[in-house]
Amino acid sequence: MARNWYDSIVPADAAAPRDIDVTVAHPARVYDYWLGGKDNFAVDRQAAEEVLKAKPGIRLNVRANRGFLARTVRYLAGEAGISQFLDIGTGIPTANNTHEVAQAVRPDARVVYVDNDPIVLTHARALLTSTQGTTSFIEADLRDTGLILSAAAKTLDFSKPVAIMMIAVLHLIPDQDDPWRIVSEFVQAVPPGSYLAISHPASDVDSRDAERAAQSYNQHVAAPMRRRSREEFGRFFDGLEMIEPGIVQMHQWRPAETDLTAPSSGHAAVARKP
């Protein structure tokens, strides 16, 4: 049975672990605050509130992003028949994590999480002992493609299809680090029949508020963000076969009746490697 990971929290008055810098806001902890989680510190909450002033609807965006993640994993594990997932940029666990959704459909599903935040690593240790199938965690930056692929091969069989999940993480990679090359390296490492799923803040949806929010975010959070256009987003899928409905806003990707209908200023898509 899926656990609610809000049960594992950092109390407001708790001291931070020694390897966590609480003098600067961290993307994963800011995101956790927007989702209503408690795995964050005062500096994260302050930064999150400043961004909310610029874009009050951002909480709807992060909820839409989580909804996209759950629907995508459900589709991949079910209709697409995928049993292996490489989730890069995991973030702090909440409800409907990749392994929970995938293993609810396929109990034997294998999931590898990748993140570089110590708080995420702390929660990952709990994840490793509380799943039906196989779950592992790699502490690494997504730019370390060789390290990630080598470590993931201990859990995943790269001779069989893998779903690569990059949910709300590529905006933290600046253009000078060539995120398109990074994504391509992961796609090249998996066989035909594999899938790529990405969500990404948009620069050309709700542009004025999005730009104000990005400026506020970059002023207050340690890792600056880079919103991208639909065209820039589409480049991540070069050479792949788009799954219907193609590139859409996050809430528009195969929504259920109970999902959010409010616009979300983020692109999302899933594609298959031919």
Would you list the domain boundaries of the chain? 21-272
Tens of pLDDT, residue by residue over 86-117, are: 999 987 777 678 998 999 999 999 999 999 87
pTM to 2 decimal places: 0.84
The rounded percent of the chain whose pLDDT value lies above 70 is 85
Domain 21-272: give its CATH architecture: 3-Layer(aba) Sandwich (3.40)
Tens of pLDDT, residue by residue over 154-201, are: 999 999 999 999 999 999 999 999 999 999 999 999 999 999 999 999
Confidence of residue 263 (pLDDT cuts 50, 70, 90): low
Peptide bond into 263 cis (omega under 30): no
- Average pLDDT in the chain: 84
Tens of pLDDT, residue by residue over 213-225, are: 778 877 777 778 8
